[in-house]
Each structure stands twice: as C-alpha cells, then as structure tokens.
Amino acid sequence: MQTDYQEQYIKFGLKVQYYRKLKGLTQEAFADEIGKSWSFVAKIESPTRPFGVSMETLFKIADVLEVPVSKLFED
C-alpha cells in the first residue's frame, strides 16, 4: 500500500498490538472479537507494512480493546 502516512499507519498498528497484548488476547482471539481473520490482525500490527482499516473496524477495535479511539493514535 502506497501512502503518505506510512509512519502513522505503522504506529497505529503497534498501538493496537500493545493494547491487545495488555488485554491478554492472542491475534486469533482478537480477530474473532472484531470479526476478522488473524491474518488481518497480523497485517494491522506489522511493523514494516502500512495497512489501513475502515472506520467501522476502527471503532470495533477500540470497543474490544476498551480504549477510546484517540488512544490508538497517541504518541
């Protein structure tokens, strides 16, 4: 995926990974909770490839992780 916001996508994915692990969820369990595949979660969390998500998925991720959406974008 080509984007001018590569760094932000990767930071977002690492935040998702951080909060997922904080909740003690595996990628598989988290994927089930958000209605996606584990490979989808792996793409989001990849530290080398930017991968975007829809707004619907963004809100679902925040709900499952029990954090405000803004926390997923903080430095």
Residue ranges per structural domain of the chain:
26-66
Residue 72, CB-side half-sphere exposure with 13 Å CA sphere: 26
What letter does residue 75 receive in the DSSP assignment?
-
What pLDDT was estimated at residue 18? 98
pLDDT per residue as tens, the chain (75 positions):
677 899 999 999 999 999 999 999 999 999 999 999 999 999 999 999 999 999 999 999 999 999 999 999 998
CA distance 73 to 20: 15
pTM, two decimals, is 0.93
What pLDDT was estimated at residue 3? 77
When computed from its CA atoms, the radius of gyration of the chain, rounded to whole angstroms, is 11
